[in-house]
Structure 1
Amino acid sequence: MKALAVVLLLVLLGVVGLMAWVRLAPSDVARWHGRVSFTKDETREGAAVRVLASTNSASLLSQLDRIAMATSRTTRLAGSVEEGSVTYVTRSAFWGFPDYTTITATGERVVMFARLRFGKSDFGVNAARLDGWISQLPDAGAS
Structure 2
Amino acid sequence: MRWLGLFVGLVAAAALYIRLAPSDPARWHVALEFNEDKDFKNGVQRVVDIGPDGLARLDVLIGRAPLAGSVDEGHATYVVRTPVWGFPDYVTAQQVGDRLKIYSRARFGRSDLGVNRDRVEGWLSALKTG
Q: TM-score of the superposition, structure 2-length normalised? A: 0.92
Q: CA deviation at 1:122?
A: 0.6
Deviations 1:33-70 (A, max 9, x none): 1221211011110010110124x43x11111111111x
The CA distance in 2 between the partners of 1:114 and 1:15, in whole Å, is: 26
1:96 and 2:86 equivalent? yes
1:7 and 2:22 equivalent? no
Instruction: Report the secondary structure of 1:76's partner residue.
Output: coil
**Which residue does the alignment assign to 1:16?**
12
| Structure 1 runs (4+) greater than 6 angstroms displaced | none
1:68 and 2:72 equivalent? no
Q: CA deviation at 1:89?
A: 1.0
TM-align CA RMSD = 1.6
The CA distance in 2 between the partners of 1:39 and 1:130, in whole Å, is: 16
> Are the equivalent residues in 2 in contact too, given 1:37–1:111 (CA < 8 A)?
no
Instruction: Report the secondary structure of 2:103's partner residue.
Output: strand
Q: CA deviation at 1:93?
A: 1.7
Q: CA deviation at 1:6?
A: 1.2
**Which residue does the alignment assign to 1:32?**
28
Q: Which amino acid counterpart does residue 10 of structure 1 have in structure 2?
A: L
The CA distance in 2 between the partners of 1:75 and 1:91, in whole Å, is: 13
Number of equivalent positions: 130
Deviations 1:70-90 (A, max 9, x none): xxxx55211111011111111
> Are the equivalent residues in 1 in contact too, given 2:49–2:100 (CA < 8 A)?
yes
Gaps of 5+ in 1: none
**Which residue does the alignment assign to 1:114?**
104
Gaps of 5+ in 2: none
Instruction: Report the secondary structure of 1:49's partner residue.
Output: strand
> Are the equivalent residues in 1 in contact too, given 2:54–2:98 (CA < 8 A)?
no
Considering only CA atoms, is the larger Rg found in Structure 1 or Structure 2?
A: 1
**Which residue does the alignment assign to 1:50?**
46
